[in-house]
Amino acid sequence: MRFVIQPLLIIAALAGGAAVLGAQERPASPRFVNPPSLPPVRGYSHVVEVPAGQRLLFIAGQVALDSTGVLVGQGDFRAQARQVFENLRRALASRGATFADVVKINFYVLDVSNIPALREVRDQYVNRAAPPASTLVEVRRLFRDDVLLEVEAVAAIR
């Protein structure tokens, strides 16, 4: 007797899934959680749980270069942030995803005093009802002196 093992069933079992997914069922959406044992948050989630069966999309750090390689917003943090988020939007769209699919964002900025402008732009793109987990790091330098921020993202696609 020969046994055939369904890979999706193994993944669900290994991930600790309580229910076994059939081949035609859609996996659940990611869960965005802010445990009460952690500090209050503003514009991000502490924990994002991605269920088995979803594809992860990793987007490399995006900077404020347009599609021709020209810097947008020389010396203007807000303009650069808008271009960065437009680049992220385009990268997501290229794989059939949107910002609603983003589960993690990493920000690298030259000056943390720009956080209010960054939050303002970010909030025009991310799902504010279920914001992604995020990390923000102030860095001394990015790959070019005229680049003020770089942002990378991870999305979970059903």
CA contacts within 13 A on the Cβ side of 113: 1
List pLDDT tens digits, range 45-88.
999 999 999 999 999 999 999 999 999 999 999 999 999 999 99
List pLDDT tens digits, range 87-115: 999 999 999 999 999 999 999 999 999 99
* Amino acid letter, residue 132: P
Whether 4 shows a pLDDT value over 60: the answer reads no
Residue 117 confidence (pLDDT) above 70: yes
Per-residue model confidence as pLDDT tens digits over 119-141: 999 999 999 999 999 999 999 99
Between CA 152 and CA 154 the distance in angstroms is: 7
- Provide CB contacts within 8 A for 113, sequence distance 6+: none
What confidence score (pLDDT) does residue 143 get?
94
Q: 7-157 has which CATH code?
A: 3.30.1330.40
3-state secondary structure of 152: strand
Q: What is the pLDDT of residue 27?
A: 56
